[in-house]
Amino acid sequence: MDSYEPGAHSFVLKIWIEESGDAAIPTKWRGHITHVPSGQRRYFEALEEIIHFVQPYLEEMGVQFAPRQGLPQRWLKCLRHRLTR
C-alpha cells in the first residue's frame, strides 16, 4: 500500500503537562506538531501556533484563506476546551 496520498497531509500533534515543582509557579502545557511526510516539527506553547504551522501546507494544496482568517477557529476552540478541563 502506498503511504503517499496526493492532496492530503498528515500531522502528529503531541501535548504534555510541564510541572515546575514549585506550587507558586503555575503548571504549563507544551506541545509539538510534526508534518509526517517531511518530518518537519515545531514546538509550541500556544494553540494558535498550530495554525501557523499547518496553514502553508493547506495553501500549497490550493486552499485559499481570506486575509486574517486563518484556519477555522471552531476546531481550535474545541481543542482548547479539552485541554483546560
Is the CB of residue 14 less than 8 Å from the CB of residue 36? no
CA distance 47 to 50: 6
What does the pLDDT look like over 35-55, one tens digit per residue? 999 999 999 998 888 888 988
Read off the pTM.
Answer: 0.66
Inform me whether the pLDDT recorded for 11 exceeds 70.
Answer: yes
Q: What one-character DSSP code corresponds to residue 27?
A: P
Average pLDDT across the chain, whole number:
79
Helix (H, G, I), strand (E, B) or coil at 56: helix
Is the CB of residue 13 less than 8 Å from the CB of residue 33? yes
Domain regions of the chain by residue span: 11-83
CA distance 78 to 84: 10
